[in-house]
Amino acid sequence: MKLRNPFLTRGYAGSDYFCDRESETRKLLDAFDNDRDITLIAPRRYGKTGLIHHAFSRLPSEFTGIYLDIYSTHSLADFSSLFASSVIGALDSRIDSAVSAVGRFFKACRPTVVPQEDGMPKFSFDVVPSNAEATIKEAFEYLKSKDKRAVIAIDEFQQIAEYPGKGVEALLRGQIQLLPGVSFVFAGSHKHMMEEMFVSPNRPFYQSTQILSLHTIPCDSYAAFARRFFDRAGLPFDSAVFEEVYRRFEGITWYVQAVMNRIWGAGDGLSNVAQVDAAVKSLVEDQSDVYHDLMRSQSEGSRKMLRAIARAGAVRQPSAGKFVASAGFKAASSAAFALKDLRGRDLVYETDSGWVVYDRLFGVWLREN
Ligand SMILES: Nc1ncnc2c1ncn2[C@@H]1O[C@H](COP(=O)(O)OP(=O)(O)OP(=O)(O)O)[C@@H](O)[C@H]1O
Ligand SMILES: [Mg+2]
């Protein structure tokens, strides 16, 4: 299948449409080959999920890659049902062996079989809290019985910290330790939460994995990637203008992809900054209603803080008197309260250059409205 627009803004479509990440991919494959687990940390939209799929596409043939995104799970029961239904069948090449494995291993919660149009049926587990732990253990027993090499990537892993009840981390860690030949990738975007989980001595996953922090793709390698498509199509491509796209969005993958997707869509190549302005404008306009609603739902203090951070771009010292006053707060304590509130809801976060509005397009909108 030939894709029309080479700049994807979701999903993975093979290495032709995937830029660089060579050393990160090697690190992942090397870890899998040597039975190590990986913690993959990067802010949102840097390309964690894409990297997992890219590494999976290069797995040696004896490995099976299993991917699950636990963002929508809210309890151990949700997790168990997603985990069990993701692993079961993945390591069976025949329907009858999958069905018989289900019969042998899954006693706590009997799954229902959902036939698929082609190939393996899916197994759906309706796990309730009282059999969640048993179902997890059974899923691990099943994995162990297969004695095959696999990689299980659990995306949005920080979500498990939100589950009610204690002991989820310890339960998982305990099971993982007993499973040779299967490597895990724990990917997440909450740096603080992920680091707490994997580098605090009092947590079950303490020092149990190799930490891989994903940074932005280098600008020159991104430019070379983009240029290839324009050259092939006989369209102009000015590297300096690409650098402007990259600079405006700090090289964060999704924004670069989104802007380039629009520029490609316009069909005139990339030769001047006005094209970049137009692309950003159309992206922001598409979100404008959402941003209006978002602002309306904020408290007065949070609105002030959002505007002040957006105006500044990045704020190193949000408690400094000058910033607090310029943001329109009378007291540093109310500024601190607003910042904490915004951070708790992922509207702002702290980068190496200071506090920024998480969604960069929202930042652009705030500066203009
Ligand atoms: N190396 C890459 N080359 C080209 N496009 C990429 C690359 N990495 C990611 N992308 C694209 O960028 C977008 C964001 O990437 P991805 O979804 O992997 O980020 P993420 O870190 O998982 O984000 P989130 O935290 O929001 O889940 C996707 O559209 C993806 O297709
Ligand atoms: Mg992701």
The atom of ligand 1 lying closest to the CA of 12 is 31
- Whole-angstrom distance, CA of residue 17 vs CA of residue 270: 18
Please, how many CA atoms are within 13 Å of residue 33, restricted to the half-sphere of its CB? Answer: 11
18 lines ligand 1 (CB under 6 A): yes
Comparing 38-42, 112-116, 217-221, which segment has the lowest mean pLDDT? 112-116
Same domain? For 163 and 289 the reply is no
Helix (H) or strand (E) holding 199: helix 191-199
Q: Taking a C-beta distance cutoff of 8 angstroms, is the pair 338, 299 a contact?
A: yes
The atom of ligand 1 lying closest to the CA of 222 is 3
Task: Give me the helices (H) in 200-238, please.
Answer: 219-232
3-state helix, strand, coil in the chain (%, to 5): 55, 10, 35
Q: Taking a C-beta distance cutoff of 8 angstroms, is the pair 138, 107 a contact?
A: yes
Same domain? For 182 and 288 the reply is no
| pLDDT tens figures, 270-327 | 999 999 999 999 999 999 999 999 999 999 999 999 999 999 999 999 999 999 999 9
Q: Which two tokens stand for residue 285?
A: 């306009």
80 CB-near residues (< 8 Å, 6+ apart): 109, 125, 127, 131, 132, 133, 135, 136, 139
Domain membership flag for residue 126: yes
Same domain? For 223 and 209 the reply is no
189 lines ligand 1 (CB under 6 A): yes
Same domain? For 208 and 235 the reply is no
How large a percentage of the chain has pLDDT more than 90? 79
42 lines ligand 1 (CB under 6 A): yes
The atom of ligand 1 lying closest to the CA of 50 is 18
21 lines ligand 1 (CB under 6 A): yes
Name the closest-CA residue to atom 13, ligand 1. Answer: 254
Domain ranges, residue 186:
21-213
Q: What pLDDT, on the 0 to 100 scale, is given for residue 31?
A: 97
46 lines ligand 1 (CB under 6 A): yes
* Whole-number CA gyration radius for the chain: 23
Same domain? For 194 and 229 the reply is no
- Whole-angstrom distance, CA of residue 216 vs CA of residue 47: 9
Q: Is the pLDDT of residue 3 over 60?
A: no
Domain membership flag for residue 4: no
- Structural domain count of the chain: 2
Question: Which pTM value belongs to this model?
Answer: 0.92
